[in-house]
Amino acid sequence: MKIAVLREAAGETRVAAVPETVRKFIALGAEMAVESGAGEKAGVSDSDYKAAGATVAGRAAALKGADAILCVTGPDPVTLKGAAKGALLVGALDPGRRADDIAAYAQTGLEPLAMEKMPRITRAQSMDILSSQSNLAGYKAVVDAASIYGRAFPMMMTAAGTVSAARLFVMGVGVAGLQAIATGRRLGAQVSATDVRSATREQILSLGAKPIFVEGVAGIEGEGQGGYASETSPEYRQAQAELVSSHIAKQDIVITTALIPGRPAPRLISDAQLATMRPGSVVVDLAAEAGGNVEGAAPGRSVVRHGVTVVGAVQLARTLPADSSALFARNLYNFLAAFWDQEAGKVVLPDDDEIVKAIRVAPALTEPA
């Protein structure tokens, strides 16, 4: 089985295979072809890939006869000619927003597999790109906030006087939120956090942060369907808004991460609430690309409102390309290795497998008459 690794389009810093996963694929019996320059922005040179046993070539040569193509973001379909018929295209293909490209991949004879559709089951945890990338984004959101904030995070008692600890509030305690709490704590901030899922209360406490929860109105009991949140009732949203209003005025840093699959991100902070924060405060909205948790947040930009810097964070994992690539690459390896058929010497995807069914996103092609 030949596996091609693409060089990503401009703007994407990550790469879908690193020397470690190249070696592991070769140990399984695969032949690896890496497009020249693929790892450049992630700190991996062509010679590193060669040393790991891959061939390095231009796109056409790397794709020629490939049975699988690994990518981070979905490539332009017209650039994928030459792969074997039925070749797997594996990556974050974004089927929700790129339906036309997904259809074009299928028309080119490829089988698109959207890794972000990976089900949240124990067996698939090591293949979950959303988790691996969100974890890094949660960390980076706090580090970015710390570098913008004009004060220190930890309490410091010095001969010149005391610096008080920053107060950091995390809204949405999924994978990114948990890492934001942990990072804020490591930097010495006083951390509080909230979520609609009641199961997160224990997780917040276990990280040494203070849970801030709506009392008296039901949110989402337990984990939520598949681990994900759904929309809350109007009563809950009202109670949450009041809770946020009373809490947020005392916060220096807010990290919002709240997402609802298939829906716009819930609005958690209004402009009026921002206005109650101390000037110099920093809000990082990790949901900016999905419509934003914070009123006025602009995806990919920072704006200052009422003296508060609001960062519309987009794809923060891209700002840590070496680590995010290594984790992403392992997710892809773990997936393909799990379906490696020793006898056939290639990946075999059973039609009735829960993982396979979830990530197969090609529309059914109509047979020519």
For the chain, the first-to-last Cα distance in angstroms comes to: 33
Query: 125, 206, 225, 233: which one is catalytic?
Result: 125
Query: Are the CB atoms for 41 and 321 separated by under 8 Å?
Result: yes
**Residue 154 has which token pair?**
């930890």
**Smallest distance from ligand NAD to CB 195, Å:** 4
Concerning whether 120 is annotated as a catalytic residue, the answer is yes
Stretch (H or E) spanning 68: strand 68-73
Q: Does 238 bind ligand NAD (CB under 6 A)?
A: no
Q: Does 229 bind ligand NAD (CB under 6 A)?
A: yes
Concerning whether 101 is annotated as a catalytic residue, the answer is no
Site residues for ligand NAD, window 250-309 (CB under 6 A)? 257-261, 266, 268
Please list the alpha-helical segments (H only) found in the chain: 19-28, 46-51, 59-63, 99-107, 129-148, 175-186, 200-206, 234-248, 271-274, 321-338, 354-359
Q: How many residues bind ligand NAD (CB under 6 A)?
A: 32
Residue (62 or 274) nearer to ligand NAD, CB: 274
The DSSP result for 137-163, as a single string, is HHHHHHHHHHHHSSS-SS-EEETTEEE
**Residue 235 has which token pair?**
């009563």
User: Any long-range contacts for 347-356 (C-beta under 8 Å, 24+ apart)?
Assistant: 347/1, 347/67, 347/68, 347/88, 349/88, 354/119, 354/121, 355/118, 355/119, 355/121, 355/123, 355/124, 355/127
Residue (112 or 172) nearer to ligand NAD, CB: 172
Query: 67, 131, 132, 197: which one is catalytic?
Result: 131
From the list 103-111, 166-174, 184-192, 345-353, the region that binds ligand NAD by CB under 6 A is 166-174
Which of 53, 227, 291, 299 lies at the binding interface for ligand NAD (CB under 6 A)? 227
Single out the residue of 291, 295, 277, 271 nearest to residue 168, CA to CA. 277
From the list 46-54, 228-236, 274-282, 357-365, the region that binds ligand NAD by CB under 6 A is 228-236
Query: 45, 94, 151, 228: which one is catalytic?
Result: 228
Concerning whether 48 is annotated as a catalytic residue, the answer is no
Q: Does 87 bind ligand NAD (CB under 6 A)?
A: no
Residue (20 or 231) nearer to ligand NAD, CB: 231
Single out the residue of 254, 328, 241, 244 nearest to residue 287, CA to CA. 254
Q: Does 247 bind ligand NAD (CB under 6 A)?
A: no
Residue type at 151 in one-letter notation: R
Residues 6+ apart with CB under 8 A from 337: 24, 25, 28
Residue (41 or 330) nearer to ligand NAD, CB: 330
Tell me if residue 73 falls in helix, strand or coil.
strand
Q: Does 16 bind ligand NAD (CB under 6 A)?
A: no
Site residues for ligand NAD, window 335-364 (CB under 6 A)? none
Which of 5, 62, 170, 176 lies at the binding interface for ligand NAD (CB under 6 A)? 176
From the list 54-62, 68-76, 171-179, 241-249, the region that binds ligand NAD by CB under 6 A is 171-179
From the list 96-104, 117-125, 244-252, 334-342, the region that binds ligand NAD by CB under 6 A is 117-125
Concerning whether 128 is annotated as a catalytic residue, the answer is yes
Concerning whether 105 is annotated as a catalytic residue, the answer is no
**Residue 123 has which token pair?**
């067996």
**Residue 265 has which token pair?**
């991100």
From CA 297, how far away is CA 286, in angstroms rounded? 10
Residue (13 or 194) nearer to ligand NAD, CB: 194
From the list 92-100, 116-124, 275-283, 321-329, the region that binds ligand NAD by CB under 6 A is 116-124
Residue (83 or 286) nearer to ligand NAD, CB: 286
Q: Does 132 bind ligand NAD (CB under 6 A)?
A: no
Binding site for ligand NAD (CB under 6 A): 120-122, 124-125, 128, 130-131, 134, 171-177, 194-197, 223, 227-229, 232, 257-261, 266, 268
Catalytic residues: 120, 125, 128, 131, 228
